[in-house]
A and B are shown apart, each in its own frame.
Chain A
Amino acid sequence: MALPLEEIKKLILSSIPDASIEIKDLMGDNNHYSATIKSKMFNGLNKIDQHKLVYKSLKGKMGNELHALSITTEENNGNK
């Protein structure tokens, strides 16, 4: 019941390609993470739908292999 950090990043990026992801392994156990994810895909969505996009990118792993991932989502309104 663990998922390496790089694997989580890869999964998120495959669904949210423009995401900038800051992710921390809180306990060094590949099981308790905290992630801040910024993307234009979140623009205009409410928080629930933003988090659902992240959960969907993890393809059912959330709540199974991945027990604890705290998510913070941010819209990307930059001009770049």
Chain B
Amino acid sequence: MEINEKIKNLINSNEVCLFMKGTPDSPQCGFSMTVSNILKHLKVNFNGINVLEDENLREGIKNFSDWPTIPQLYIKGEFIGGCDIIKEMFENNELKKILKDKNISHQ
């Protein structure tokens, strides 16, 4: 329960929240790097949360979203997808649309 509270707190207090392996400046996995780079490219201000620093969080986020892999992107509390989905949404401009709809500053 406690970890779910922590996750809820994180996704509600950060408009754009990326659960990733490593940090935006030093990603530890190619998939995490891809999503982090897409957000950087779109000049989105996001909080990258390194799940490698917290084993509880690493497992907890998978249960929370019923999604077995990292990275996971949340925008305004809503789970948007993992690496494959974000990449696809970036390529077909759906990601920009979501950012616009959710009023997130980007380029």
Q: Do B84 and A51 touch (CB < 8 A)? A: yes
Residues of chain A having any CB pair with chain B under 8 Å: 47-48, 51-52, 55, 60, 62-63, 68, 70-72
CA distance A44 to B89 in the complex (A): 17
| Prevailing SS type, chain A contact patch | mixed
Q: B48 CB to closest chain A CB, in angstroms? A: 19
Known interface pairs A47-B88, A72-B88. Does A63 touch B83 (Cβ–Cβ under 8 Å)? no
CA distance A60 to B62 in the complex (A): 11
Pairs A-B, 7 closest by C-beta atoms: A63-B68, A62-B68, A47-B85, A71-B84, A63-B69, A55-B68, A70-B84
Residues of chain B having any CB pair with chain A under 8 Å: 31, 62, 66-69, 79, 81-85, 88-89
Q: Tell which of A60, A63, A72 touches B84, judged by Cβ atoms closer than 8 Å.
A: A72
Residues of A close to B82: CB separation below 8 A: 51
Residues of A close to B62: CB separation below 8 A: 63
Q: B105 CB to closest chain A CB, in angstroms? A: 24
Q: Do A55 and B67 touch (CB < 8 A)? A: yes
Residues of A close to B81: CB separation below 8 A: 47-48, 51
Residue on B nearest A32 in the bound complex, by CB: B30
23 contacts between A and B (CB under 8 A): A47-B81, A47-B85, A47-B88, A47-B89, A48-B79, A48-B81, A48-B85, A51-B81, A51-B85, A52-B66, A52-B67, A55-B69, A60-B68, A62-B68, A63-B62, A63-B68, A63-B69, A68-B31, A70-B83, A70-B84, A71-B84, A72-B84, A72-B88
